[in-house]
């Protein structure tokens, strides 16, 4: 088995085992958090923002889609491993350190929660570096982890609000409505935003040729994640006025800034992919005439529709595989040209070229002659 295969197996085993263990812990904790009817209501409310958030991150990921199993792993890590790990660390910190409620909220929670969420990105960097092509990939994986974490945490907060076991008053409909509005409508992006700073740091590390930056970038991302998370939590201690002030002056602008940055990165991927594939075509790895049909999302969609009309599902499947292999090759070749290719660059590149050569005889783009089989 190659080193890439061993790393992939190690990553899968570690994430799966920790997700199962964390899932047991969190299911027990949730089960002890309220009556079944309360938990059903809390889960229903907590799941509402999940779909739109996932849709946003999957939209960002459309240009060079990450493996679905890794995206699901990130979601599961956030929901089970990061939440369970944070609960354990905060419990130990509260018992050993004797922190008060304010310190737990403003300091201990941000430090532990961003550490447990960010660990997934570090595992990717360690064992699945080849899947990370840059900053946008880091943001997408960080978003998956943040969405999973927020979902489970919101269940706990909503159940506690309804049962009156938090600071929202006697509980009931009014309390749970307040928590739902604050956490699920006004700030559903909070946890993905915090962890996106770690994702940016990891993405910078992958794309950097500087050894120092490869170490410092993830550390800086973690520090920014903790600071923003701590500021957000501390704002809730200052009453409604403090919360609104921090929301309007810091968190909302930071969210808009990260969104604009991510969209810019997504658009820049087209230019990067075109340059990389053009160089790959000059090296004889694929026909230059195919590039225009590979660097634009609408052109890719038109190519798949054309294939289905001309050859049915088999032709569409061949076109989809050809497009995916070409895009993966383009991103890998870009890293080669930058001097940041992964250690298994040659093996991965040969794999993509074989996929291209296997699918190309059955592929034709609109306006091209249909190859004979």
DSSP string, 97-112: H---HHHIIIIIHHHH
Residues 243 and 154 in one domain: yes
- Tell which of 238, 255, 272 closes a domain: 255
82 vs 311 pLDDT, higher one: 82
* Same domain membership, residue 183 and residue 94: yes
3-state secondary structure of 172: coil
- The arithmetic mean of pLDDT across residues 266-278, rounded, is 92
Reduced to 3 states (helix: H, G, I; strand: E, B; else coil), residue 296 is: coil
- Give long-range contacts, CB 8 A cutoff, 24+ apart: 161-165: 162/34, 162/38, 162/41, 162/42, 163/33, 163/34, 163/35, 163/38
Rounded to whole angstroms, how far apart are CA atoms 188 and 265? 23
Joined together, the tokens standing for residue 77 give: 């890590």
**Average pLDDT score over residue span 151-155:** 96
Q: Are residues 251 and 291 in the same domain?
A: no
- Residue where a domain terminates, one of 203, 237, 255: 255
Tokens of 350: 């040969």
Q: Is residue 277 part of a domain?
A: no
Q: Mind listing the pLDDT tens digit for each residue in 217-254?
A: 999 999 999 999 999 999 988 888 888 999 999 999 99
Query: Which tokens hold the place of 281?
Result: 């075509």
Give the pLDDT of residue 2.
56
174 lies in the same domain as 321: no
Q: Is 154 exposed, middle or buried (0-12, 13-18, 19+ CB in 10 A)?
A: buried
| 73 is a domain residue | yes
Token match 């309804």: residue? 162
Q: Would you state the torsion angle of the CA atoms of residues 286, 291, 296, 300, taken in this order, to the nearest 10 degrees?
A: -60
Mean pLDDT over each residue of the chain, to the nearest integer: 90
Q: Supply the pLDDT for residue 371.
A: 44
Helices 239-246, 211-235: crossing angle, 10 deg rounding: 150
**Predicted pLDDT at 310:** 85
Mean pLDDT across the stretch 18-28?
A: 94
- Band of residue 166 on the pLDDT scale cut at 50, 70, 90: low
| Region of poorest pLDDT, from 31-45, 194-208, 321-335 | 31-45
Choose the final residue of a domain: 235, 255, 275.
255
Total-model pTM: 0.90
Q: Is residue 260 part of a domain?
A: no
Q: Is residue 266 part of a domain?
A: no
**Domain shared by 94 and 214, yes or no:** yes
Both 47 and 127 in one domain: the answer is yes
Residue 271 lies in a domain: no
Please check whether residues 220 and 300 belong to one and the same domain: no
Count other C-beta atoms under 10 Å from residue 187's C-beta: 19
For the segment 172-201, what is each residue's pLDDT rounded down to a tens digit? 888 899 999 999 999 999 999 999 999 999
Residues 183 and 239 in one domain: yes
Q: Domain for residue 274, yes or no?
A: no
Average pLDDT of 119-141?
Answer: 92
The answer to whether residue 55 is domain-embedded is yes
Do 154 and 31 sit in the same domain of this protein? yes
Q: Which domain holds residue 215?
A: 3-255
Assess whether 303 and 239 both reside in one domain. no
Q: Judge whether 290 lies within some domain.
A: yes
Strands (E), 226-311: none
Residue 26 pLDDT > 50: yes
- Number of structural domains in the chain: 2
Same domain, 338 and 231: no
CA angle 212/215/217 to nearest 5° reads: 100
**Mean pLDDT of the 40-61 span:** 94
Q: Is residue 54 located within the same domain as residue 136?
A: yes
């Amino acid at each position: 088995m190659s080193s890439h295969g061993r790393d992939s197996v190690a990553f899968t085993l570690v994430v799966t085992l920790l997700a199962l263990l964390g899932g047991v812990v969190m299911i027990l904790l949730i089960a002890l958090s309220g009556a079944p009817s309360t938990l059903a209501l809390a889960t229903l409310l907590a799941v509402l923002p999940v779909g739109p958030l996932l849709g946003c991150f999957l939209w960002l990921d459309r240009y060079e889609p990450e493996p679905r199993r890794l995206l699901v792993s990130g979601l599961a890590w956030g929901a089970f491993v990061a939440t369970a790990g944070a609960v354990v660390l905060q419990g130990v910190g509260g018992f050993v350190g004797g922190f008060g409620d304010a310190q737990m909220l403003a300091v201990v929670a941000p430090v532990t929660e961003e550490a447990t969420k960010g660990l997934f990105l570090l595992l990717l960097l360690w064992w699945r570096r080849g899947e990370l092509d840059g900053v946008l990939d880091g943001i997408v994986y960080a978003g998956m982890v943040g969405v999973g974490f927020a979902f489970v945490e919101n269940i706990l907060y909503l159940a506690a609000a309804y049962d009156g076991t938090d600071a929202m008053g006697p509980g009931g409909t009014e309390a749970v409505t307040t928590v739902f509005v604050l956490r699920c409508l006004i700030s559903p992006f909070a946890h993905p935003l915090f962890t996106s700073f770690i994702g940016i740091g990891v993405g910078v590390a992958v794309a950097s040729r500087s050894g120092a930056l490869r170490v410092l970038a993830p550390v800086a991302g973690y520090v920014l994640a903790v600071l923003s998370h701590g500021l957000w939590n501390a704002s809730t201690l200052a009453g409604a006025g403090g919360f609104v002030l921090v929301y309007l002056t810091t968190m909302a602008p930071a969210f808009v800034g990260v969104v604009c940055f991510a969209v810019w990165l997504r658009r820049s991927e087209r230019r990067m992919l075109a340059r990389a594939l053009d160089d790959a075509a000059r090296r004889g790895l694929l026909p230059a005439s195919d590039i225009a049909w590979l660097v634009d999302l609408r052109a890719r969609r038109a190519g798949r529709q054309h294939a289905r009309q001309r050859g049915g599902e088999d032709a569409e499947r061949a076109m989809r595989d050809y497009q995916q292999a070409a895009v993966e090759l383009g991103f890998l070749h870009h890293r080669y040209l930058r001097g940041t290719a992964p250690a298994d660059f040659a093996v991965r590149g040969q794999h993509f070229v074989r996929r291209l050569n296997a699918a190309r005889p059955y592929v034709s783009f609109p306006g091209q002659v249909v190859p004979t089989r």
